[in-house]
A = this chain, B = another copy of it.
Amino acid sequence: MKGIILIMDGMGDRPIKELGNQTPLQAANTPNMNEMVKNGITGIMDSIAPGIIPGSDTAHLSILGYDPYVVYTGRGPFEATGVNIDVEEGDIAFRCNFSTRNEEGIVTDRRAGRIRDKTEELAKAINSMKLEDYPNLKIIFKESTGYRSVLVIRDSGLSDKVSDADPKVDGKKVKKIVPLDDTKEAKKTADILNQIIEKSYTLLKDHPVNIERIKNNKDPANVIIPRGAGAVPTVEKINSKYNINSACIAETGLIMGICRLAGMDIVEMEGVTGGIDTNLEVIRDTILDKVKNSEHDFFLVNIDGADEAGHDGMAKDKKEFIEKVDEVVMSEIKNLEDVYIFLTADHSTPVSVMNHSGDSVPVLIKGPEIRVDDVEKFSEIDVAKGGLCRIRGSDVMNIMMDLIGNSEKFGA
């Protein structure tokens, strides 16, 4: 028996006037999901807890059976996994800005003129950096979106107990990073960071990309400013924790990063974008192929488009994307046999909020031996009358493992 957790990222929503005071999911024509509902059990779910606004990262951690309040050590490590840096336990990761400083060290623009282009070339210059004082230190640096980037340092004896370099406002000096406790690890890490910041200026100030930016009257991205230090957490691998052979089918680096941290195999897909223009046929065919032909028995699938439409405030787009997923993906998924399918969202991304919210999300479980309730439509409101009542993200793996026969009895 196999199991699929299929997450429609950000699918949950609130009633929207434009859609006749319905949510996009309520308003959507979803015959295939509704058929699954009629053969399944439904309910609502709080990925973390009622009213708590989850990130996609913390929500997925919770749904995969990890306590985000324990495992989520800060944005750094998850940003790093999100840009496909293959982090290791013990690495210290930082979110960074490309910024502009002058010769006196004053930050004149924290976002380097909101640079968007050629940051990968700048990143390459940093990524090759070596520090003479720390011959064993490995520095990994990668651009993210816009002026954002990620720094990972790897060495023995490091600590995440160091301050930020970000002065928070323009017109101030890059802050010297200081240790936040008395350990030699924190002192070493702070010294390394200060050297990296200083050296980034040396490496970037005359970089061809910046020469060109200055010529075009744009602020050069001539220094990196790290913040949000976090140690890559030690995470019990999901395969040994639950005795499964698991794979991740996802579009975005952030979700793949979390699954990689959990030790899951990452399935590569061509032509997917993470947006509403993604290639749903590829996602569908990948799911069908892997479920039928691979040795994996557990899958985490994430389809991202509904979240994007929510962030962009596009009600009609969100509704239409949900309909497209129903038509292209669910029409086939619903026919899988000997598979338990747990269909849900990681969080709500209401069109009116244009960001995540703490509203619960709908849940549907379909499979061979499921107790079937009398709910007939997959929507945030209808499923609240279902046989699951209200569960939490932290229940998902336990429920799934019980259903696919992968759990052990606690007691006699």
Contact = CB atoms under 8 A, between A and B. Distances in A.
A23 interface: yes
Interface residues of A, number: 64
A74 to B, nearest CB: 10
A400 B58 contact: no
Contacts of A267: none
A395 interface: yes
A26 to B, nearest CB: 9
A373 B359 CA distance: 14
A54 B402 contact: no
Nearest to A72: B411
A56 interface: yes
A298 to B, nearest CB: 14
Contact of A409 (B50, B54, B359, B405): B54
Q: Which among A48, A385, A410 has the highest number of chain B CB atoms within 10 Å?
A: A410
Contacts of A51: 395, 397-402, 407
A70 interface: no
Interface string A32-68: 0000000000011000111111111111000000001
B388 A386 contact: no
A372 to B, nearest CB: 7
A166 to B, nearest CB: 17
Contacts of A402: 51-53, 357-359
Interface stretch (A97-105, A232-240, A348-356): A348-356
A51 to B, nearest CB: 3
A405 B374 CA distance: 34
Contacts of A48: 410
10 contacts: A44-B389, A48-B410, A50-B399, A55-B411, A55-B412, A57-B411, A78-B411, A254-B412, A359-B402, A384-B388
* Top-5 shortest CB links A-B: A55-B411, A51-B398, A358-B402, A58-B411, A51-B399
